[in-house]
Amino acid sequence: MRQLRGTPLKRFLRKLPPPPSPKELVIVCQSVAYPVNVGSVFRIGDALDVKEIVLSGITPTPPNPKISKIARDKDRRVPWRYFDRPEAALRELREAGYWIAALEITDDCRPYFAVDYPDKVALVLGNEDHGVTRASLALCDAALFVPMYGKGRSLNVHVSLAVVGYHMLHQVS
């Protein structure tokens, strides 16, 4: 067994089938403050082939050297937009037919694996310390969480995105 690099890796990746579910995914970063997390969101967004990433509030935006380094320049490939207020972005996504779900623990949240995802989904990621705001939650159709079976209370925001995003794409209706 040997690792694939360069051209053999590119050939391997080209042979992969598309995900079994043709879901359209938009990621909304609501005041995700740390450039490292934003860079990771861009890299995961590229891996999930998202339609776009919406940055809002105090979320840092490209061009940013730390975002680009962590994203491995995927911030130049993945489409993104910036909104001062995340609520404006969420209203626009709702009008475009997206089902909006916050990755947040609330009094009526559901585990990410217990959801039948529609074809158009917007996942809202909140601030690392304060989570998704009440104003944004009020515009969401659901709140989803990743169960924590150890002593920790949560995963890093981009790790939760990867878990939920891949599950959603591989959910067969």
Q: Residue 19: what pLDDT?
A: 79
Q: Residue 152: what pLDDT?
A: 92
Q: For residues 95-124, give the mean pLDDT.
A: 97
pLDDT value at 28 more than 90: yes
pLDDT digits 0-9 by tens, 66-83: 999 999 999 999 999 999
Q: For residues 37-44, give the mean pLDDT.
A: 98
- CA–CA gap between residue 149 and residue 49 (Å, rounded): 29
19 or 3, which is more confident?
Answer: 3
127 Cβ contact partners less than 8 Å away, ≥ 6 residues apart? 30, 31, 32, 33, 57, 58
pLDDT value at 171 more than 90: no
Q: For residues 96-124, give the mean pLDDT.
A: 97
Which contiguous run of DSSP H or E holds residue 56?
Answer: strand 52-56
Residue 41 Cα distances to 52, 68, 102, 131, angstroms: 11, 11, 15, 16
Domains and CATH numbers, the chain: 30-169 (3.40.1280.10)
Q: pLDDT confidence of 63, banded at 50, 70, 90?
A: very high
Helix, strand, coil % over all residues of the chain, rounded to 5: 35, 20, 45
125 Cβ contact partners less than 8 Å away, ≥ 6 residues apart? 27, 28, 29, 30, 32, 41, 103, 132, 157, 158, 160, 161
pLDDT value at 22 more than 90: no
Ramachandran area for residue 25 (φ above 0: left; ψ -120 to 50: alpha; else beta): beta
Q: Residue 18: what pLDDT?
A: 83
Q: pLDDT confidence of 110, banded at 50, 70, 90?
A: very high
pLDDT digits 0-9 by tens, 80-99: 999 999 999 999 999 999 99
Q: For residues 40-48, give the mean pLDDT.
A: 97
